[in-house]
Structure 1
Amino acid sequence: MQKIDPVTLHGKYVTLEPLETAHEAALVEAVQDGELWNLWYTTVPRPEGVGAEIQRRLALQEAGSMLPFVARSNSTGQVIGMTSFMNIDHSLPRLEIGSTWNRRSAHGTGTNPDSKYLLLRHAFETVGCVAVEFRTNWLNHQSREAIARLGAKQDGVLRSQALTPEGVLRDTVVFSILALEWPAVKRNLEYRLGKAR
């Protein structure tokens, strides 16, 4: 399989656009909504680090291991955050959905499950993935619960798997959805999105 081409994905609540350097100002404004970089259990760039994070993701895209997106609210037109296909294994194919953050005012608006729905649908129905993975810090209970609500199953916990920006070893929880599980997960997400605000 070749690189996954950048694509724009349109949903009910959110549109995912290929990340570009031109998104920097909008992402700086988004990350300031709620000062999410202060959350110790997740990694969100500080305003002055957004440009470097964009360059990091675009370099990984060029290398073929990541396909980064910005998320834009359909109701407001605002850029609300970032997400990515990452750790792409083109031979299977298999990938991880991660490096996701959204401005605080977008939390609970349906944009995050809609974003995951769009990414999962593209991964399984267009790319042909055999599995899609999610990873999060063991201590990030909000993220773990959100991943489980998607219909992902916990594969296990990788103990002392990564260093946080502060240099603390973290345990990483690994979840996945298999291609054969996608039809049921898709039905559940479509039901949820119909009920979201």
Structure 2
Amino acid sequence: MSTWPAPVTLTHPLARLEPLLPEHHDALVAAAQDGELWRLWYTVVPSPEGMRAEIQRRLDLQAKGSMLPFVSVDAGGTVRGMTTYMNIDAANRRVEIGSTWTAASVQRSGFNTACKLMLLQHAFETLGCIAVEFRTHFFNQQSRRAIERLGAKLDGVLRHHQKLPDGSLRDTCVYSVIAPDWPAVKAHLQWQLDRPR
């Protein structure tokens, strides 16, 4: 098992990211029910019935060293979703931030921005990453806009990149933030969090 990156809890006044545990099951089911997120065709969010299997899948990938899964928790202590470092490339100090979903009631708030700030800051300032990737479905316009608001740049589109559970083929938009971008991206994210909403 890879020891890079090691499990860690990340904190911000608006959010906390904690290592995923099987005990988070019921709270994650409640978060996914907020907006019935599993019904969105262009993304994969576990249904209440599939949550236990998804938690185990992520923990199995963690054991293999290819994923570091988190639950996202709001300032009041309520679990609001999941996110990960995935496709971990320890030799090249690269990670992807992905397999992320957030309860509908906290979308388009400062919550997701705070989570991304914590993940990016840890990646660049603690782990010494040279690049952080983000990937999303071509048709997931909400996710694409959110990634672009972070300051990530579009590297390209992988055509027919994945087969989805419904049999459709996903074109995947690949974005990245590279280490030289980080100071400006960090300042931008902090500005977004500090400005009145």
TM-score, with structure 2 as normaliser: 0.97
Shift of 1:196: 5.6
Post-superposition shift, 1:3?
Answer: 2.4
Could you tell me how far apart the structure 2 residues matched to 1:32 and 1:87 are? Answer: 27
1:1-197 matches, cutoff 5 A: 2-74=3-75, 76-195=76-195, 197=197
> Which secondary structure state, in structure 2, belongs to the residue aligned with residue 47 of structure 1?
coil
* Structure 1 residue 165 displacement after superposition: 1.4
CA displacement 1:159-182 (0-9 Å, x = unmatched): 000011111111000000000110
> Structure 1 residue 12: deviation in Å?
2.3
Mean CA deviation greater in 105-114 or 121-130: 105-114
Q: 2: CA distance between counterparts of 1:196 and 1:183? A: 22
What SS does the corresponding residue of 2:86 show, helix, strand or coil?
strand
Q: Distance in 2 between matches of 1:195 and 1:23?
A: 32
Q: Deviations over 1:46-76 (max 9, x none)?
A: 00101000000000001000000000000x3
Equivalent-residue separation in structure 1 for 2:196 and 2:170 (angstroms): 33
Cα distance in 2 for partners of 1:178, 1:162 equals 25
**Following the alignment from structure 2 to structure 1, what is the Cα–Cα distance between the partners of residues 154 and 179?**
15
Q: Secondary structure of 1:72's match? A: strand
Specify the SS of the correspondent of 1:88: strand
Residue 106 (structure 1) shift: 1.1
Opposite residue 188 of structure 1, the aligned amino acid is H
Distance 1:100 1:196 in 2: 26
- Structure-2 separation of matches of 1:104 and 1:64: 30
* Maintained 8 Å contact 1:94/1:131: yes
Q: How many residues were matched structurally?
A: 196
- SS of 1:48's partner is coil
Say if 1:110 and 1:196, in contact at 8 Å, map to a contact too. Answer: no
Deviation at residue 6 of structure 1 after TM alignment? 0.4
Q: Percent identity?
A: 57
Q: Matches of 1:89 and 1:138 in 2, distance apart? A: 24
RMSD: 1.0
For 1:188, what is the secondary structure of its paired residue?
A: helix
Deviation at 1:92, TM superposition (A): 1.1
Counterpart code for 1:59: D
> Aligned equivalents of 1:6 and 1:196: distance in 2?
33
Specify the code of the residue in structure 1 equivalent to 2:195: K
What stretches of structure 1 move > 4 A for 4+ residues in a row? none
User: How far apart are residue 2 of structure 1 and its match?
Assistant: 3.9
